[in-house]
Amino acid sequence: MKLKSIQHKLAFYGLQLLLVLTLFSACKEDVIRLNPLNESDYQVDGAPSVSLLGEDGKTQTSILEFRTLGSYDVSVQLNKPANQNIAGSITYDENVLKEYNEKHGTSYQAYPKDLVTFSGEGKVEIKQNEKMSSAVAIEVKPNPASSGSETYVIPLNSTVPSENSTFDTFMLFVKDMTKIPSTDKPNGLKVISCMEVNDTNPLNNLAFTLKNSGKLLVDEVILFSSNINYNETTGKVVLTHNPNVTHLLQNKDKYLKPLKDRGMKVILSVLGNHDRSGVANLSEQAAKEFAQELKATCLAYDLDGVFFDDEYSAYQYPVPPGFVSPSNQAAARLVYETKQAMPDKKTMVYVYGRTNYFGGSSALPGIPAGQYVDYALHDYLQSYSLTNNYPELERSGWFLSSGEYARNYYPSPTALRNIKTGGYGGTMIFSLDPNRSNYSFFQLSALRNIAVYMYDDELVVDNSKIYKKDW
């Protein structure tokens, strides 16, 4: 992300060459090995004739987190208008979960059925010449047995018939967070802090709260960054972590658990590292295998998802064996396979490089980007519409007017007000560091603006929670 901002944002200042020379450094790796690559074509099944549609536009899986009572609306939709009135119901079906676990080699547990209720007993009707039923509200009571770290599933099925007698299913991944503090603000907007962990301590995110709500300013922290690399000796693609990321992961109880204990999400960033591999040139099989490595890492270190950034890669032409031509579609494939591997985790993309557009001919056939992209984080200070970039990704998944705190790129009050009034998800800040010389005026002023113009609140700084990098 630093290199991108040099090459893309500072070029008109005439500093591109100087900054590239000073910042162009590679990350060393702790290797996680993958199996040999398979270059078979990537295919996605077509849409079913009947599908369950969640309130967030998801049609196969979604995530419900709650801290009092949970609620999630589901409707039945057809892929063409009904030729007569059609009646049926949405049901809790443990066979759906059993089949899912068997197919994917997972062991998710069902959320207790007696804690789940369906409005109107789950009954739905699709009127003649219409494609959508009214919504069924799924109400979820807290689970006394949950500590907040477990992920359960409410498996859903539909009895609405279709012409070819197919039915679609839905896996609602549930996290009962009633025993964990929340960062959620009254208006639902979020602040994502993308931490340059080569320079700063992620615990600094604990220092900033809002006076009136008492909530932490930052909701999610991205560890920037791990890498995708090609191992010349083995000829395999590997996930790598530089010494700084390695230290944080290996000492997660000190650096990451305090964030999670306060309700923050911790996300792993992945980008290229100056060789032939990248997030935008893996074949189908390689994407599946790399997604499994990402899943293993998230499980091992209790991480909440992955952020994909197409930078730093030195893609080769002609395309070397084991890879495909770099493309937006190949990048989309990796994000899709990651969501398939861990549907209970978040998948985020940077609106830059080949992760910037998963629509049109760059889309995966039959799978709109909104089904596998949870958040799209705009490039620095950008705020244009992402409707075409990520079809079916709702505005609540768009993060606009990102700041770059190392170089004093900060969104204006007008941009922050637009986030609040436009139904967007929030904003991202990159490279927050209270120990940098520009903190006391520039960075702190930018954080105060977020508090005022996004939340109508006042920033409170706890200087006892300002940490230096101590490794």
Q: Catalytic residue numbers?
A: 311
In terms of Cα–Cα distance, which of 132, 148, 19 is closest to 81? 132
Give the CA diameter of the chain.
Answer: 69
Non-local (6+) Cβ contacts of 254 within 8 A are: none
- How does DSSP classify residue 35? P
Distance CA 325, CA 283 (A): 9
Adjacent-strand bridge partners of 239: 32, 228
Collapsed DSSP state (helix, strand, coil) of residue 339: helix
Adjacent-strand bridge partners of 263: none
- Tokens for 94, please give them: 């443990």
Q: What Rg, from alpha-carbon coordinates, does the chain have?
A: 22
In terms of Cα–Cα distance, which of 184, 108, 174 is closest to 146? 174
- How does DSSP classify residue 171? E
CB atoms within 10 A of CB 8: 15
Q: Are 415 and 383 in contact (CB under 8 A)?
A: yes
Report how far Cα 91 is from the mean position of its chain's Cα atoms: 28
Collapsed DSSP state (helix, strand, coil) of residue 448: helix
Distance CA 284, CA 44 (A): 11
Non-local (6+) Cβ contacts of 382 within 8 A are: 351, 400, 401, 402
Distance CA 296, CA 287 (A): 14
List Cα–Cα distances, 44 to 61, 79, 212, in angstroms.
16, 17, 48
Adjacent-strand bridge partners of 189: none
